[in-house]
């Protein structure tokens, strides 16, 4: 069977966004309500702009399923744009610093940034959320849970209880409009976003994704292209406006000696029947990945999102036609998209995990994947 993969197509103000997903096994029930729920979460979050009040993102699965169950052929998924005006949208001749405008206009030999920004827009992440949510339908079948949330907005840092379960984190996250499990920090984050809007500025932040329930050995150390941490990092860095990715403690491990970085290994026979096969850790500084493979601990990924490049106050720029200094153009945009970005990262990470999972436990049908998974755990427990 082909490797699990997906491609997206579509522009910000085009007719629709399209996702083509290949490599899913036959027999997988798709939870359409869950998939659409993730798209709704991506549209939400305090600090979003007017565009999200126009759109109602829902998936229309055009192929690859019968009675909401995959049949093994490629899935073609459509998400319609209500704000379809790509042919009538005005030209953009004053590139926005921090966006793809200038580099793209020069690359494609045009003075109209519109032709670049329509595809470079974060509206494209709608398709990636849909693909990740579909992949999560597979992971959930094997007890693998993914939860993403906001850890920081601007200077406001959330305090996260690391002992909380995915369900507890999810419930706390969903109780506020900035998608953070820390209710006290949520109020401060909302105030900071409100202040940035008053100042005609924007804010970035840090998001975190946790993946629970993976057994050791998903991913590989034999080829750099197959290392799961590298794949995850590449996928997150491929999201618009992301500038850094950390696995586990990330940058902090460079300041500590090895004795305070590596996670000591223990064995608990009482946990032999769990996905970690009884091998436990008291810490998880390396984020559940060693040598490019899962080690049985939760996978922890953090991504840094820069502030949105479109500012109401504009920034110094140059008119590409006249070459004279002018303030940058303004396209309807967000003040802060960090909460929405946490949804994107959660689903992008889930897709990479599902891709590696299916490479380890391959099968043309879901029942074959289940059998391969059960056989692996059985053999591993004999070690």
Residue 332 scores a pLDDT above 90: no
What is the structure's pLDDT at 1? Answer: 59
Residues contacting 322, CB < 8 A, separation 6+ = none
CATH of the domain at 107: 3.60.150.10
d(CA 376, CA 362): 12
d(CA 213, CA 69): 24
Q: What is the rounded average pLDDT of the residues 25-45?
A: 97
Q: What token pair was written down for 101?
A: 């405008």
Confidence of residue 230 (pLDDT cuts 50, 70, 90): very high
For 286, left (φ over 0), alpha (ψ -120 to 50), or beta? alpha
Residues contacting 291, CB < 8 A, separation 6+ = 221, 227
d(CA 96, CA 116): 12
What is the structure's pLDDT at 297? Answer: 97
Containing 184, the helix (H) or strand (E) segment is helix 183-198
For the chain, what is the domain count? 1
Q: What token pair was written down for 284?
A: 């998880």
For 112, left (φ over 0), alpha (ψ -120 to 50), or beta? beta
Q: What token pair was written down for 331?
A: 């396209």
d(CA 196, CA 194): 5
Confidence of residue 86 (pLDDT cuts 50, 70, 90): very high
Q: Which residue segment(s) compose the domain that 273 sits in?
A: 5-381
d(CA 169, CA 345): 16
Residue 356 scores a pLDDT above 90: yes
């Amino acid at each position: 069977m082909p490797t699990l993969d997906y491609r997206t197509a579509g522009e910000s103000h085009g007719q629709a966004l399209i996702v083509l997903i290949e490599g899913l096994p036959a027999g997988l029930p798709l939870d359409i309500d869950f998939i659409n729920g993730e798209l709704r979460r991506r549209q939400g979050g305090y600090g979003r702009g007017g565009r999200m009040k126009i759109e109602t993102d829902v998936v229309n699965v055009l192929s690859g399923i019968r009675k909401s169950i995959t049949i093994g052929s490629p899935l073609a998924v459509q998400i319609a744009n209500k704000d379809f005006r790509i042919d009538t949208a005005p030209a953009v001749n004053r590139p926005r610093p921090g966006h793809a405008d200038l580099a793209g206009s020069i690359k494609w030999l045009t003075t109209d940034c519109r032709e670049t920004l329509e595809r470079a827009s974060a509206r494209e992440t709608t398709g990636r959320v849909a693909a990740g949510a579909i992949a999560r339908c597979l992971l959930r079948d094997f007890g693998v849970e993914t939860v993403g949330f906001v850890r920081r907005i601007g200077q406001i840092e959330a305090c996260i209880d690391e002992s909380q379960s995915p369900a507890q984190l999810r419930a706390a996250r969903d109780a506020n409009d900035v998608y953070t499990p820390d209710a006290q920090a949520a109020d401060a984050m909302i105030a900071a976003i409100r202040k940035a809007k008053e100042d005609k500025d924007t804010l970035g932040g840090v998001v975190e994704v946790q993946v629970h329930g993976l057994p050791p050995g998903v991913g590989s150390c034999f080829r750099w292209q197959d290392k799961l941490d590298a794949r995850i990092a590449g996928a997150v860095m491929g999201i618009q406006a992301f500038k850094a990715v950390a696995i586990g403690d990330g940058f902090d491990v460079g300041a500590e000696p090895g004795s305070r970085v590596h996670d000591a290994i223990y064995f608990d026979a009482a946990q032999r029947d769990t996905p970690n096969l009884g091998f436990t850790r008291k810490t998880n500084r390396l984020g559940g990945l060693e040598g490019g493979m899962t080690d049985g601990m939760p996978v922890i990924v953090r991504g840094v999102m820069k502030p949105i490049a479109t500012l109401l106050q504009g920034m110094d720029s140059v008119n590409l036609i006249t070459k004279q200094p002018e303030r940058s153009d303004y396209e309807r945009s967000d003040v802060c998209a960090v909460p929405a970005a946490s949804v994107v990262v959660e689903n992008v990470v889930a897709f990479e995990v599902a891709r590696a999972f299916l490479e380890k436990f391959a099968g043309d049908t879901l029942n074959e994947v289940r059998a391969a998974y059960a056989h692996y755990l059985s053999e591993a427990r004999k070690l």
